[in-house]
Amino acid sequence: MDEETLLLETEADMEEAVERMVSDFAGVRTGKASPSLVDNMDIYVASYGSSMKLKSIAVVSTPDARSILIQPFDPGTLNDIKKAIAESKLNLNPIIDARSVRLPIPELSGERRKELCKYVKSLSEDTRVRIRGVRKNGMDGIKKLKADNVLTEDGVRQAEDKVQKLTDKYVKKVDELVTAKEKEIMTV
């Protein structure tokens, strides 16, 4: 492995950590309905003797801004889907409508908004920890390149500076995304 490959892998891993956080943010309820609210929660439905992801056994849509509609491929799974949603962390009350499950999305209270902001901050801190772990792996890779005589002392310093700049860039990106999500939660 050379320095360029190491830096590209480090950046790709940091980008992946940020993308995962963005995906997690999509599941944080902001008072308006979104299919990602259900999709990103990884809700498992116990049906027919096995456990399956909700999105693999039903179509999730938003008919309006205040509700999510879940239409199972097999209407026999309606009660199983209702039970799985009721037991999830969504804190929503599913309602069975003929051949579908409807999730009404209530307005967020001030207290609930603050809880969601704390949750968003914890997700972002987890992402920062992941980014720092990637940074450590990058620094270890640089040391290995030096040990293998691929990099000189000056090359090591330059590579370490590049890894640190990548780390700073992605931590700043995380901070910007958190600020935007908190604003969205508090104003929507």
User: What are the pLDDT digits (tens) for 23-63?
Assistant: 888 777 666 777 777 776 678 888 878 888 888 899 988 88
Q: Say how far apart CA 81 and CA 101 lie, in whole Å.
A: 8
The answer to whether residues 94 and 121 belong to one domain is: no
CA distances from 139 to 118, 127, 133, 142 (A): 31, 18, 10, 5
| Single-letter amino acid code for the residue at 115 | E
Q: Give me the CATH number covering residue 58.
A: 3.30.1360.40
Q: Which residue range is the domain that position 90 belongs to?
A: 35-104
The answer to whether residues 65 and 129 belong to one domain is: no
Is residue 140 predicted with pLDDT exceeding 90? yes
User: What are the pLDDT digits (tens) for 147-178?
Assistant: 998 888 999 999 999 999 999 999 999 999 99
The answer to whether residues 113 and 22 belong to one domain is: yes
Is residue 100 predicted with pLDDT exceeding 70? yes
Confidence of residue 76 (pLDDT cuts 50, 70, 90): confident
